[in-house]
Each structure stands twice: as structure tokens, then as C-alpha cells.
Amino acid sequence: MEKSSRERLLDAGLELLGTVGSARASARAAEDRAAVPHGSVRYHFGSFDGFLDALVAHLVDVDRPRPGESPAEVCARWLGPQRTVTRARYELTLLAFGRPELADRLVAGRDVFVATLIDAGCAPDVARRLVAALDGLVLDALLRGETTLDPTPLIAMLTVDR
């Protein structure tokens, strides 16, 4: 099934953020990459800010843990096939410091991951710390150009019964 122009814009927006960064990503560039008419961002999202808000929602949907996926598998996906999306997540995180509504959406997305860990038996405070620590570990791997990481020692350290 072919994606709608709205979906193509969202995919293109994440790809742009993950490859050229927020300083060079624009509505026009997303429209060009998605092969949709100019003005499509305004038509579908009302404004570039509306587009950014929709990008965060799309990111949360793409980024979230899949059913039965372990934290190690999530990290492998974030550094492997979804590396560009992961880089887009950090670009959106930086933008969120100046846009509280984006920050709220990003926190809600992280809380989905936290809830997944809680459902798997992790204590709530440990699950939140684990998500934050995994996020830092993934960011460090991206900065170092690494494509794999083993989060097992970190997970063991944070989840050990004290």
C-alpha cells in the first residue's frame, strides 16, 4: 500500500533531521524529499511548528519498543537500521529545549518505553533510570560512530536488587 503524502512528509522529515540536522532541514526540503507539492507541510500540519509536533509523534511511534523486544534489541535497532531516526530523535530533543510542547511529547514517548519495562517487571523508578541510561549509552555510541553496543552490564547494574 502506497504511503499518503502526509506519511511521506513525516518520513522525509525524520530522514532530513537525521542526516542534515535541524539547522538545514526545512519544510521545502521535506516536501522535495517526499516528492510532494510545495505547500504540503502547511496544508497537512498548518505550520512548520505543527510539522515538528507531528514529527515527534511520528518518531515516538517508530521508535517505541516493539512487542517482546528487549532493551538490547531496541538499542541494536536504534544503532542499526533506524540509526537515522535515532539521530533525528536527538535533533528533536535539542529543539525541544526551546519548545515545551515538543519536550512534553518526547517525555511522553520515553514514558512509553518506561511503561514497557514496568510491564516486564521492572520497578518504576528503576525503569525510568534505565531508559535514561540507555539513551545516554546510545547517544555515546552514535557520537563515537559505533554501530553496536552491549547494554547488558548497564541493565544488570541498574536492575540488581539492593
pLDDT at 104: 94
Instruction: Extract long-range pairs of 66-70: CB within 8 Å, 24+ residues apart.
Output: none
pLDDT at 162: 45
**pLDDT tens column, 69-96:** 888 888 899 999 999 999 999 999 999 9
Q: 61: which 3 cell numbers?
A: 511511534
10 Å CB burial of residue 64 (0-12, 13-18, 19+) is middle
Under DSSP, is residue 161 helix (H, G, I), strand (E, B) or coil?
coil
Q: What is the distance between the alpha carbons of residues 160 and 152, in angstroms, rounded to a whole number?
A: 12
DSSP label of 37: -
Contact call for residues 92 and 18 (beta carbons, < 8 A): no
Identity at 45, one-letter amino acid code = F
Under DSSP, is residue 22 helix (H, G, I), strand (E, B) or coil?
coil
- Average pLDDT, integer, range 136-153: 92
pLDDT at 47: 94
Q: Give the structural domain span for 109.
A: 5-159
Q: Any residues with CB less than 8 A from the CB of 41 and at least 6 apart, and which? A: 9, 27, 30, 31, 48, 51
pLDDT at 69: 87
Q: What is the distance between the alpha carbons of residues 34 and 161, in angstroms, rounded to a whole number?
A: 49
Cα radius of gyration rounded to whole Å, the chain: 17
Q: How many residues does the chain have?
A: 162
The yes-or-no verdict on residue 111 having pLDDT over 60 is: yes
- Average pLDDT, integer, range 101-110: 92
pTM: 0.89
Q: Which of 53, 74, 55 is nearest to 65 (CA)?
A: 74
The confidence band for 2, taking pLDDT boundaries of 50, 70 and 90, is: confident
Q: Give the CATH number, domain containing residue 140.
A: 1.10.357.10
As for how many domains the chain has, the answer is: 1
Q: What is the distance between the alpha carbons of residues 133 and 4, in angstroms, rounded to a whole number?
A: 36
**pLDDT tens column, 14-67:** 999 999 999 999 999 999 999 999 999 999 999 999 999 999 999 999 988 888
pLDDT at 72: 85
- Average pLDDT, integer, range 120-138: 91
